[in-house]
Copies of this chain bind each other. A is one copy, B any other.
Amino acid sequence: MKKFINQADDFIPEMLAGIYLAHPDALRCVNDDPHCLARVGATPGKVAIVTGGGSGHLPLFLGYVGEGMLDGCAVGDVFQSPSPEQILAVTQAVDTGAGVLYLYGNYNGDIFNFDMAAEMAEMESDIRTRTVVAADDSAGAAPSGEGNASARRGVAGIFFVYKCAGAAAANGGCLDTVARVAQKAGDRVRTLGVALSPCIVPRIGKPGFQIGDDEMEIGMGIHGESGIRRGPTLPARQIADEMMSWLLADSPCQSGDEVAVLINGLGATPLEELYLMYRHVHHTLSQSGIRVFRVWVGEFATAMEMAGMSISLMPVDEELKALLAREANTPMFRQFSA
């Protein structure tokens, strides 16, 4: 296990300690529990957005807590949900009275724990919450999946949902508006990934799955969940073509649309290869009569040291374009207004 790590049990606490030391002006810990992370400074009357989920996906989730994005994050252990109590503590810390949007990915553990936290927040603290679950993985809509939204995992496309909802909240939107925008973005965004290598959960100490030296798996999830098709690695052009064919079949976008594109590295894949893949994606979109509003290329939702990448597409209208273009400033994501 070639990792910079001490004891496996200390991996996340020590990582969090490093994050608080690195960003003391931006992030704070709630109730002395480092897994309960909140933004430094609150804007009175602003709707707060709380996310959470398992660790191992940086900059997802906690890296997006900051100006123009999110207000708090409940941090689980590697690939594990945070507890309802941790979600509640974050909720109480960031609520300004305008209500809280819970925005996270479609995993049963997270849904269960966030729902429980929502009940406790209302009962204990009279905090109104709304929930939007990101379920963007097109692999869930493939014939091998269950073909409906509930089967879709939440993957990298949640970045667009955070960006739009975060901008709406920063612009002063009320809870209904922020939830509506998040749902709108979530309904539109679709993602498909491809994995070339596994990753190792520190406590387990060995790869979560095996994949041959000459194999890839299209549609694999960010925890190593089974994808659509495993086969020999192909030239980049053919991988991109196959992914775009799945994605465009599942995405609501069509000829004449404008889309936001996210080219996301899963961990070990170099930025060089992501840009090379974007070239193919751009050409495929052009050939389909779809214009690129803007593309984000880099690591936005990872699976530790997994080699692979994902493509997300979200058709945009004027409202979403303005929200995507708004400035954001978080410890792990910064963007000037366009």
Interface residue ranges, A against B (CB under 8 Å): 2-6, 11-12, 14-19, 21-22, 55-56, 58-59, 63, 196-197, 213, 216, 233, 235-237, 239, 267-279, 282, 295, 297-299, 302, 304-305, 307, 309, 329, 332, 334-336
Q: Is A2 a contact partner of B336 (Cβ separation < 8 A)?
A: no
Q: Is A269 a contact partner of B305 (Cβ separation < 8 A)?
A: yes
B56, B235, B332, B335: the one within 8 Å of A5 (CB)? B235
Query: Which of A4, A15, A19, A56 has the most chain B CB atoms closer than 10 A to its own CB?
Result: A4
Known A2-B213, A271-B302, A272-B56; judge A335-B334 contact (CB<8 A).
Answer: yes
Q: Which residues of the partner chain B approach A305 to less than 8 Å between Cβ atoms?
A: 268-270, 307
Known A5-B236, A336-B334; judge A271-B59 contact (CB<8 A).
Answer: yes
A295: nearest chain-B partner, CB-CB: B22
Q: A6-B236, A298-B332 are in contact. List 14 more A-B contacts (CB 8 A).
A: A2-B213, A4-B277, A5-B235, A6-B237, A18-B297, A21-B278, A21-B295, A22-B275, A22-B282, A269-B305, A271-B299, A305-B307, A334-B334, A334-B335
Q: Which residues of the partner chain B approach A269 to less than 8 Å between Cβ atoms?
A: 4, 305
Bound CA–CA A2/B306 (angstroms):
12
Q: Is A4 a contact partner of B297 (Cβ separation < 8 A)?
A: no
Q: Is B302 a contact partner of A15 (Cβ separation < 8 A)?
A: no
Bound CA–CA A22/B270 (angstroms):
16
A3: nearest chain-B partner, CB-CB: B273
Bound CA–CA A274/B3 (angstroms):
10
Query: Which of A14, A196, A334 has the most chain B CB atoms closer than 10 A to its own CB?
Result: A14
Q: Is A307 a contact partner of B18 (Cβ separation < 8 A)?
A: no
Bound CA–CA A334/B329 (angstroms):
9
Known A6-B235, A197-B2, A329-B336; judge A55-B213 contact (CB<8 A).
Answer: no
Bound CA–CA A216/B5 (angstroms):
13
Q: Is B267 a contact partner of A18 (Cβ separation < 8 A)?
A: no
Q: Is B282 a contact partner of A4 (Cβ separation < 8 A)?
A: no
Known A334-B335, A336-B329; judge A236-B271 contact (CB<8 A).
Answer: no
Known A4-B269, A305-B270; judge A275-B236 contact (CB<8 A).
Answer: no
A55: nearest chain-B partner, CB-CB: B272
Q: Which residues of the partner chain B approach A273 to less than 8 Å between Cβ atoms?
A: 3-5, 15
B58, B270, B278: the one within 8 Å of A304 (CB)? B270
Bound CA–CA A335/B331 (angstroms):
10
